Amino acid sequence: MNSGSSKPSQFSVSELDQKARYVVLFLVLSGVFWLLFGTLLALVASLKMHLPDWLGTAGWLTFGRVRPLHLNTMVYGWASLTGAGVALWLLSRLLKVPIMLRGYIIVAGMVWNIALLIGSIQILAGHSRGIEWLEFPVSTMVLIVLCVIIMSASVLMMLVMRKVKQLYVSVWYLIAAFLWFPLLGLVSSLPIFDTPTVQAGMNWWYAHNALGLWFTPVGLAAAYYFIPKVLGRPIYSYGLSLLGFWGLALFYNWNGFHHLIGGPVPTWFVTISISASVMMVIPVVVVAVNHHMTVVGSFRAVINSPTLRFVVFAAMSYTFVSLQGAMQALRSANEVIHFTHFVVAHAHIGMYAFVTMMLFGACYYIIPRITMREWHSKGLIKWHFWLTAIGIFIYTVALQGIGVFQGFAMINPDVPFTDTVTMTIPYLVARSVSGLLMTAGHLIFAWLVFRMTWRPDEQPATPLVWNKIREEFAS
């Protein structure tokens, strides 16, 4: 920082934000489109759980196609595209260099969107790969991975040309994520997993790592950036940051096979995975302490800052979902709750209450800075937060509550299977209600982003701080 002003090549953050503008906006807006599309699919799938005959006549609207497409559009559309945009912006600011290969990344983003579109049509037409989290045909997956590789190249160029000496903790996570995800995507696309047990092993290695080694690092990097940034105080401990990062890097990769408990795979294979899943408690507790001790005493800011409100909610959800995950990996717990709605809710706490809420928070910080415009309404942001937060809360309580009872009923040989299904119906209705709340939240978010990017003439009169910078750049 001290030598910063003496170098003429140093960029100010507003210059960096200006260069990031089109790349990040394109990725985020694409993500918001897929968020809305995925939300629609989610609602249809959720309603079908308690209205099984609804829309049941057309093949392409059956549950077996709508639900996988919901997962895939949310994961590879919303969370990956927006996450990549957020990650590139964070790296640009933290390394103090503009995003590299901007034109290539925009082209890659277009290809990515087209790949998603083709993949979506393929799944609806019944050409799913039939592997959870990898339902998109291999062609779509390979295209997406190639697009990520272009971004990874950009990220590595930024790292080499960085204008800072020390790498902040967010940078470690982001660089790692851009190296891990292409590897995951490429390996999972190789045509070498043709025996069923090996394919199942690959499936859960991939699916769990996509969450833990792609979305989690991006989410944690955002938390590590925005919490100290908005509060204006340093992160509690560098040492804990280090421990948290290497803990994730060491233990996460083994986690996926706890999904295969009871499956025809060797015992040692599953046992190692369960041990590693439990060991994930270490980085999770360390990161939670690090974040909590940074925020503690400043909870007022959490109420006032829209970004922090989402980010802190997401960080707390990360702690909760990870500790829960470590517990439910144990054989004794897994025996009860696996194959019930409990696990469905667990996955949604991870991808929604953690990753999605974190991305919302990041968007609320980033978009005003790259567009130099203001959010249209603070009230609507508040509505967005409460609708989505209450929505995912109801979702979790309803499905995890009944999931435990469903699990005990399913392992009881005296209970007919039909009873284990009918007992969940009221809770599935509650899930649809919570889905409606979250949908309303997403519509508000999309409207706010729309107002900001498409209707520049009708900006709120105040505050104008960012417009001033724009005028200065124009002159």
Partner 1 sequence: MAEEQHFGDRGQDRGQDKDNIRKQGSARGRKVKGRENDSREFTDREDERSMEELHRAAMEKEEKIPEEGNERGPWWMYVIVIGTLAFGFFYMGRYLGEISDQPHVLFTRPAPPDVEEVDLDLMAEGRRVYTRLCQSCHQQDGAGVQGAFPPLGGSEWVIGNPERPVYIVLQGFQGEIIREGVTYNAVMPGFGRLLSDEEVASVVTYIRNSFGNEAPDVLPEEAAEMREASDGRTSPWTEPELQEFIDQ
- Asked if residue 363 binds partner 1 (CB under 8 A), the reply is no
CA 469 vs. chain centroid, Å, equals 32
Cβ 374 vs Cβ 368: under 8 Å? yes
Rounded distance, CA 224 to CA 168, Å? 9
Q: Considering only 54-62, 109-117, 129-137, 267-275, which stretch makes contact with partner 1 by CB under 8 A?
A: 267-275
- Asked if residue 103 binds partner 1 (CB under 8 A), the reply is no
DSSP for 222-234 reads: HHHHHHHHHHTS-
Smallest distance from the beta carbon of 271 to partner 1, in angstroms?
A: 4
What number of other Cβ atoms are within 10 A of residue 416's Cβ? 10
- Asked if residue 279 binds partner 1 (CB under 8 A), the reply is yes
Between residues 103 and 463, which has the closer beta carbon with respect to partner 1? 463
Smallest distance from the beta carbon of 343 to partner 1, in angstroms?
A: 21
Cβ 227 vs Cβ 315: under 8 Å? yes
Q: Considering only 61-69, 81-89, 213-221, 282-290, which stretch makes contact with partner 1 by CB under 8 A?
A: 282-290
- Choice from 210, 276, 410, 444 touching partner 1 (CB under 8 A): 276
- Choice from 13, 110, 114, 433 touching partner 1 (CB under 8 A): 13
- Asked if residue 194 binds partner 1 (CB under 8 A), the reply is no
- Choice from 8, 58, 268, 457 touching partner 1 (CB under 8 A): 268
Q: Considering only 47-55, 152-160, 175-183, 296-304, which stretch makes contact with partner 1 by CB under 8 A?
A: 296-304
Between residues 239 and 456, which has the closer beta carbon with respect to partner 1? 239
Rounded distance, CA 202 to CA 206, Å? 6
Place of tokens 């759980």: 49
Between residues 157 and 289, which has the closer beta carbon with respect to partner 1? 289
Nearest to 154 by CA among 114, 112, 188, 106: 106
Smallest distance from the beta carbon of 67 to partner 1, in angstroms?
A: 28
Give every CB contact of residue 472 below 8 A, 6+ residues apart in sequence. Answer: none
Q: Which pairs count as long-range contacts for 71-75, CB under 8 Å and 24+ apart, including other chains?
A: 71/132, 71/133, 71/135, 72/119, 72/120, 72/123, 72/133, 72/135, 72/136, 73/34, 73/37, 73/38, 73/41, 73/116, 73/120, 74/34, 74/35, 74/38, 74/42, 74/351, 75/133, 75/210, 75/351
Rounded distance, CA 246 to CA 244, Å? 6
Cβ 101 vs Cβ 149: under 8 Å? no
Rounded distance, CA 345 to CA 394, Å? 10
Cβ 358 vs Cβ 310: under 8 Å? yes
Smallest distance from the beta carbon of 232 to partner 1, in angstroms?
A: 5
- Asked if residue 208 binds partner 1 (CB under 8 A), the reply is no
Q: How many chain residues are in contact with partner 1, going by CB under 8 A?
A: 69
Smallest distance from the beta carbon of 379 to partner 1, in angstroms?
A: 6
- Asked if residue 168 binds partner 1 (CB under 8 A), the reply is yes
- Asked if residue 286 binds partner 1 (CB under 8 A), the reply is yes
- Asked if residue 465 binds partner 1 (CB under 8 A), the reply is yes
- Choice from 91, 150, 274, 428 touching partner 1 (CB under 8 A): 274
Q: Considering only 7-15, 55-63, 131-139, 350-358, which stretch makes contact with partner 1 by CB under 8 A?
A: 7-15
- Asked if residue 433 binds partner 1 (CB under 8 A), the reply is no
Smallest distance from the beta carbon of 433 to partner 1, in angstroms?
A: 29
- Asked if residue 412 binds partner 1 (CB under 8 A), the reply is no
- Asked if residue 195 binds partner 1 (CB under 8 A), the reply is no
Residues from 230 through 259 that contact partner 1 (CB under 8 A): 230, 232, 234-241, 243
- Asked if residue 198 binds partner 1 (CB under 8 A), the reply is no
Nearest to 186 by CA among 141, 128, 247: 141
Largest Cα separation within the chain, whole Å, is 79
Rounded distance, CA 27 to CA 23, Å? 6
Rounded distance, CA 25 to CA 362, Å? 12
Binding site for partner 1 (CB under 8 A): 1-2, 4-5, 10, 12-14, 93-94, 96, 164, 168-169, 224-225, 228-230, 232, 234-241, 243, 262-268, 271-272, 274-276, 278-279, 281-282, 285-286, 289-290, 293, 300, 303-304, 331, 377-379, 414, 416, 460-466, 468-469, 472
